[in-house]
Structure 1
Amino acid sequence: MEIKVTRPKQFADMVRDYRLLADSKEIAVIKRGTTQSVTLPEGCKMLKAEIDWCSSPEFPVSEIRAGKIVVKNSFSSNFLKAMFLPLYYISFGKEMYLAIESEE
């Protein structure tokens, strides 16, 4: 299955790359502000994005609509979260630091 992966330009993590994993195997490196095509391995069930020790929750491949997903920092779009919660997201919330969403 071929999908389009988009990573928006966000201030947080602007110099670091995200890694996209399919069933715990790295399949792509996603750079800031890019859209790229990624081929998922046959039989793949879950996607996950990682950066350093932080990650996203697992995202079921069956929920991908229109063959497009967005991988982004989960708190940088909200100014108050970006100011007050980074320590939470890199410690207790490390598995919610990134978000994968299906794009319509």
Structure 2
Amino acid sequence: MEIEVTRPKQFADMARDYHLLVDGKEIAVIKRGTTQKITLPEGSKTLKAVIDWCSSPEFNVCDIRSGKIVLKNSFGSNFFKSIFLPLYYISLGKNRYLKIETGI
């Protein structure tokens, strides 16, 4: 299965890359503001995005309908969250720091 992965330009994490894991193995490095086409290995079950010690929840490959996903941090699009929640997201919420969404 081939998917298109988009990472929007967000202020947070602008100098760091996201690593995309399929079933626990790294298959791609996603840079800020880019879109990449990635071929998933046959029989893939889960996707996960990782940056440093933070990550996204596991995302089921079968939930990808359009063949497109978006990787972004959880608070980058909300001004109030970006002021008040970064400490939460890098400590207790470290497994929810990134989001994987379907479609564009």
**Structure 1 length as normaliser, TM-score?**
0.98
Give the Å deviation of 1:65: 1.7
Q: Which amino acid aligns with 2:26?
A: E
Q: Which of structure 1's runs of 4+ aligned residues deviate more than 2 A?
A: none
Between the aligned partners of 2:85 and 2:37, the Cα distance in structure 1 is 32
Q: Aligned Cα RMSD in Å?
A: 0.7
Equivalent position SS for 2:20: strand
| Match in the other structure for 1:10 | 10
- Opposite residue 11 of structure 1, the aligned amino acid is F
Amino acid of the structure 2 residue aligned with 1:56: S
Partner SS state of residue 9, structure 1: coil
Tell me the equivalent position of 2:97. Answer: 97
Structural mapping, 1:1-104, within 5 Å: 1-103=1-103
The offset of 1:83, in angstroms, is 0.2
- CA distance in structure 1 between the partners assigned to 2:61 and 2:87 by the alignment: 30
Q: Which runs of 5+ in 1 are unaligned?
A: none
Give identity over the alignment, percent: 75
Q: How many residues align?
A: 104
User: How far, CA to CA, are the matches of 2:8 and 2:86 in structure 1?
Assistant: 19
